[in-house]
Structures are given as C-alpha cells and as structure tokens.
C-alpha cells in the first residue's frame, strides 16, 4: 500500500463534484437561461423543484459543499447565456439551500 501511495502524483489530485450536485446545478442553469429576467434564486429552485435531486432525498457531501462554495459561482456563470450572471447575493442564497442537503 505504501508503494502505491508513493507512486501517486498528489499534485494532480482534484476533487470532482458528485453527479447529483452537477445535475442540480445544470437544472438550475437551464431554468435561469429560460427566463427573460433573473428572478430570485428561491423562485428558480421552486420552479425546478421536481427536477432537483434534493426532491428525491439525495444529499451532498461536505466535499461537494466546499467545491460549491469555491467553484460554484464560476461554474454557473460560465454556462449562463450571454448577458446573464448570477450575483454573489443570489449565489449565497443558493449555497444556503444546498447547505440543507449536506449528508
């Protein structure tokens, strides 16, 4: 085991968020992109509630949550249509919603 660990290149280890977290973010992005005006993030999440994994009792790990805090805003804004950006206040509200789903 020690020799296997020594062979690993730790500089290349990167956390990859879970499938359910990315799926939820993509659903939220799609819903925002389909809106003419950016309404509150709570209303966006209510609108796409049936498509979100937290509606089916899925949870995210603390590692997913930390990734969301560090990289989530960039991930979301990168995929939004031109001219639409999620602001930090709305993103903070989204983080609060995901915080409820930590396993």
Angle between helices 19-33 and 62-79 (to 10 degrees): 30
pLDDT of 10 over the 70 cut: no
* The predicted structure's pLDDT at residue 13: 61
Q: Which residues contact 49 (CB under 8 A, 6 or more apart)?
A: 55
Please give the share of the chain, as a percent, with pLDDT higher than 70.
80
Residues 6+ apart with CB under 8 A from 31: 44, 47, 48
Cα first-last separation, the chain: 29
Work out the number of other CB atoms within 10 angstroms of the CB of residue 17.
20
Q: Domain locations in the chain?
A: 17-99
pLDDT in tens, 31-85: 989 887 767 888 888 888 777 776 667 788 888 899 999 999 999 999 998 888 8
């Amino acid at each position: 085991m020690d020799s296997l660990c020594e062979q690993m290149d730790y500089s290349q280890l990167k956390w990859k968020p879970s499938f359910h977290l990315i799926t939820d973010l993509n659903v939220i992005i799609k819903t925002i992109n389909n809106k003419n005006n950016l309404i509150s993030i709570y209303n966006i999440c209510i609108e796409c509630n049936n498509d979100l994994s937290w509606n089916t009792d899925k949870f995210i790990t603390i590692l997913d949550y930390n990734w969301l805090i560090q990289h989530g805003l960039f991930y979301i804004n990168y995929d939004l249509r031109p001219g639409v950006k999620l602001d930090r206040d709305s993103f903070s509200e989204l983080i609060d919603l995901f915080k409820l789903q930590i396993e």
